[in-house]
Amino acid sequence: MTVHSDRVNSGVGNARDDETLRTLMAAYQRGDLDAFDRLYAALEREVRGFLRARCRDPQRVDDLLQETFLQIHRSRRSYLPGLPVRPWVYAIAKRVFLMHLRTVKRRESRETTELSMAQEPEVPAASGRVADRSTLVSALRQVPPDSRRAFLLHHWQGLSFHEIAARLGIAPSAAKLRSSRAANRLRRLLDADERDKK
C-alpha cells in the first residue's frame, strides 16, 4: 500500500469516525445516555491529551477533563447537527482551560495580597535566620500555584491535611505531597537568595 493510499484510507476513516460522532451527538441531544457513554469513550483520550499538553498536574487534568465533559453536557444544545463534533468539543475544552487559568490567576493574586497584608508574626530573637517579608513573598510567587495553596493552607492557616484535602477536592496524601514540595522549593529559593546576599 502506498503512502498516498494510506492517507486516503485514513481520511476515509476520519470521515467515518466523524460521521459516527455526529450520529452519537444527535442521539445524545435526544437524551440517549448510551450515546453519551460512547462519545465519552471516543473522545476522552484525545481531550485528556489536549488538556495534558496545557497543564502538567495530572490531578488538575482529571478535574479539567471532568469539567469539560460536564460543560459539554450543559451546553449540548449548542452543537449544531451535521457539523463536525471535534471542533465543538475542543472549543469547549479550551474555554474550560482558559476559565481555569483565570481562576488560578485570581486566586494567586488574592493569596499574595493576603500574605503581604497580614500582620507580621513576632519572631523571638533567638530563632535564627528569618527571611524578610518581601523575599518570602517573591519566593512564594515562584512556587507552583497548587503546591503554594496547600502549603499556605497548612502553614499559614493551620489546616490539617485532611481539611486541606476536603477543601481542594484531592487526597490527603496529595495535599501533604504538595505542601512538602512547596516547602522544599521555598527552602531552595531562600537558600539561593541568602547565598546571593553574601
Partner 1 sequence: MTEPDGETKRRVREMVARDLKPVRPLLRPGRRALLVAPVAAAAVGYAVFGYGHRDFDRLGLFAGWGVSALQWIAGLLLLGAALRHAVPGRDLSRRSITATVSGAIGLVVLVTVVTYAIEPSEVPPGVAFTFWWECVKWPMALAAPILLVASLLAMRALPAQPGVVGALCGLAAGVLADSGWRLACDVSAPGHVLGAHGVAILLLAGVGAVVGVFVDAVRR
Closest CA to 95 of 114, 117, 74: 74
Q: How far is the CB of 166 from partner 1 (least distance, A)?
A: 16
> Residue 187 and residue 183: Cα distance in Å, rounded?
6
Q: How far is the CB of 41 from partner 1 (least distance, A)?
A: 8
- 92 touches partner 1 by CB under 8 A: yes
Q: Which stretch binds partner 1 (CB under 8 A): 29-37, 121-129, 153-161, 188-196?
A: 29-37
Q: Which is nearer to partner 1, 30 or 195 (CB)?
A: 30
Q: How far is the CB of 160 from partner 1 (least distance, A)?
A: 19
**Is the CB of residue 145 less than 8 Å from the CB of residue 109?**
no
In the list 3, 45, 81, 196, the residue contacting partner 1 (rule: CB under 8 A) is 81
**Is the CB of residue 150 less than 8 Å from the CB of residue 164?**
yes
181 grid coordinates: 514540595
Task: Name the strand (E) or helix (H) holding 31.
Answer: none
In the list 24, 51, 89, 150, the residue contacting partner 1 (rule: CB under 8 A) is 89
**CB neighbours of 131 closer than 8 A, spacing ≥ 6?**
139, 190, 193, 194
Interface residues with partner 1 (CB under 8 A) are 29-31, 33, 36-37, 40, 44, 58-59, 61-62, 65-66, 69-71, 73, 75-81, 83-84, 86-92, 94-95, 98-99, 171, 173-174, 177
